[in-house]
Amino acid sequence: MRTIHTEGIRKSFGKKEVLCGIDISIAEGEIFGLLGPSGAGKTTLIKILTGQLTPDSGSALVFGKNAAAMEGSDRRRIGIMMDNFGIYERLSCMDNLLLFAKLYRLPPAAAEKALAEVGLSEAAKREARKLSKGMRSRLQLARAFMTAPDILFLDEPTSGLDPSMADEIHELILKKKEEGCTVFLTTHNMAEAYKLCDRTALLNDGVIVECGNPAEICRRHDSRCEMHIRLRSGQEIVCPKDARSAETVAAYLREDAIETIHSTEPSLEAVFMALTGRKLM
């Protein structure tokens, strides 16, 4: 079942066309990543899918309905995390969530549950302005989790975080997927996309230049199709990645002679650079 579907989405600001005919279809329970550099159009697409912007042309359907015309009952099925979206600096963590709970007619217990879910119960009374960047990101996630959403829209959720804190955010996202939540994730971090996403679309200047499972994309663009073998003797062996090398590799394995073996699939970043001539950062 598709939870998000777009056809021919176009959006311009002034003379600049930011999205140039976007077609995507996202299944229920899938983590879908939109990977691209800053200014590629990622945030604009999220704003269209969440009804914050209207496309110039094309259709954007969420839960089978026009995203721009979603009613309150459907909007409560969506959780959004975007930059400082919905964070009030002088309010405590708990008061931030209680305010949001009132807007969505949720009981106070929903705020307590969301804080516990992201590990911020002990910081409930701390003002948002006194939070570390990692804690702020978790508070934003708590806000997105409060309505028990069917779809999460996460715009650069780990931007600026250190690796250990990013891993904590990743675990929270993967837990939501296990619960059946669909996740639409934007990032310019190719390692994050590779780790989290069932499918990833590479977006450049408003155009999707490639789409698929991250590992499949990398294999698809492996022009060298080689294996690089380092033997325990220090010798480096390069052989084709096909049946012709089967006996050679088997012989080295029988002799316990192999120290490392690697295939030549490029990274997502290398694929993006090959297709667009630019870096993701």
Residue 73, judged by CB atoms within 10 A of its CB (0-12, 13-18, 19+), counts as exposed
**Tell me: the pLDDT tens digits for 53-97?**
999 999 999 999 999 888 878 888 999 998 767 789 999 999 999
pLDDT at res. 266: 87
H or E stretch at 66: strand 65-66
Q: How far apart are CA 74 and CA 51, in angstroms?
A: 11
Give the rounded distance of the alpha carbon of 47 from its chain centre.
15
**Tell me: the pLDDT tens digits for 167-208?**
999 999 999 999 999 999 998 888 899 999 999 999 999 999
pLDDT at 213 over 70: yes
Mean pLDDT of 148-169: 91
**Tell me: the pLDDT tens digits for 25-53?**
999 999 999 998 888 899 999 999 999 99
Total-model pTM? 0.86
